Amino acid sequence: MAAKLKGRQQPSLDVTPKHWQTYGPDACALAEDYGMHADPWQRHVLDGFMGILKSGRWAADDCGMSLPRQNGKNGVLEIYELYATAILGLKILHTAHEVKTCRKHFMRMKNWFENDRQHPELAAIVDDIRNTNGQEGIFLNNGGSIEFIARSKSSGRGFTVDIIVCDEAQELTDEQLEAIQPANSSAPSGNPQTIYAGTPTPPHSNGTVFERLHRSAKQGHARRLCWYEWGVDEVGDIHDRTRWAQANPSLGIRLLETVVESEATKFTPDGFARERLGWWDDSKTADSVIDPKDWDACRTADPCRQGRNSFAVKFSPDGSTASLAACVRPPKGSDLKPHIELIDTRSMRNGVGWLTAFLSARWKKTIGIVIDGLAGAPTLVQELKDKGVSARVIITPNARQIADAVSMLERAIADHAVTHFDQPTLNDAAAHAQHRRVGKGHGFDSGDETVDITPLEAAALAYWNQKTSRRDPDRKQRMVKLA
């Protein structure tokens, strides 16, 4: 009789930040006391997710796990959320792509706290359990809580929590993340963290966030990211059972070999590789959406030097960098082309002072100042206003306007209707530009995590503003002193 196939417990991709100690073993012990036993792979994930520094802060701001379905991702989330609320007294916002998924997780978590016979100690700390559909929540008398919502472009607003959990993360869009991420920007504990759990993003999904985190982890350029992945590097032989075990840690524990065998006969090779072997199709980000020949054709050393500038600032998603770009609008009736230029890209380690100083000194003669980016934009907007910059000059674009900006710049490049200098940083961004879903359109994303896309995004916003704004800085007439 053939030996029972067992799933590999070690991840194929392991990114664990250095930490001083971890709550992982205590979290697993608590769950075990109430009858839930963690697999070795689940213990490993929890050790990384719950690692802390000597300061008491989480070692990772963002934590993700990618592995095929039916392997026990939700078990990891249950153990994490149980310990974080019942022992640490933290506030959690649990989100999912679908209402039914969110509801199922709520029912599992509720069972921990309302079972007086099996879990009397947990039941004793319950302050309230809210069962209203769409407003489910568990509130404890130690200050801990967990609320449940299905994600949308506006869900998450109005919450203030310590931890955000994104289940079904393969469907998480940038627009949804921008709606929910501020919920823990002012975490009551002063120690925010975001958890992502999912499978490889399918080809026709609008989800962009999980794929970007995967690339960041794989290329080794992640900052304060904890990431665990079980998967294969290629479609390969989908009937090779050793590869089944490589990608499914719970095979032979809760996942039956016969189920996988049946899937291998029903699914397409690509579908089986993605859904059961944890395969990410990284090849689709190989090329740029901008034709390099068109980009080169727009290069100039003698641009339009007349007209007025529009400025744009784009912060990276994590707020670690920002790019400042300008676009000059030629005078009316001129045959000259608009010209985009990257002014600077800097780390935000020292704050936004350099941006404030540059923009506040030039705003009166500016078409507009566009500022985009969840992390950093509010601070810069307020500092500019404090410096006397008129609110009418400052634009914080919505999703539709961002998509319009990207589309307009792409058309201008294809038509050779815009110019740019030969700037290496801007060239690199254009050479690795990909699309990410933004509302009903798309924004720019980088096909290489080593390349910062914010210079191109800032240029697109500056170009859009000079094309669409009606502001004329020279319209105001000067008062003439009579003799």
Contact in structure between 132 and 81 (CB atoms under 8 Å) = no
Predicted confidence at residue 222, as pLDDT, reads 67
- Identify the pLDDT of residue 287: 63
Domains defined for the chain, CATH in brackets: 13-285 (3.40.50.300), 292-468 (3.30.420.240)
SS (H, E, C) 44-84: HHHHHHCEECCCCCECCCEEEEECCCCCCHHHHHHHHHHHH
Query: Each residue of 319-359: pLDDT tens digit?
Result: 889 999 999 999 888 889 999 999 999 988 889 999 999 99
Give pLDDT < 70 ranges for the chain: 1-3, 221-222, 283-287, 449, 475-483
Query: What is the number of alpha carbons within 13 Å of residue 15 lying toward its C-beta?
Result: 23
pLDDT the model gives residue 281: 83
Kind of pairing between the strands at 339-347 and 51-52: unpaired
pLDDT of 248-283, one tens digit each? Answer: 999 999 999 999 999 999 999 999 999 999 999 876
Instruction: To the nearest 10°, report the CA torsion of 124, 82, 207, 186.
Output: 80
Q: Which residue has the tokens 């979290």?
A: 27
Residue 411 DSSP class: H
pLDDT at 110: 94
- Enter the tokens of residue 384: 């500019």
Contact 405, 444 (CB under 8 A): no
Whole-number Cα distances in Å, 336 to 366, 427, 462, 466: 19, 22, 17, 14
pTM over 0.85: no
Question: Do residues 231 and 278 make contact, with C-beta atoms less than 8 angstroms apart?
Answer: yes
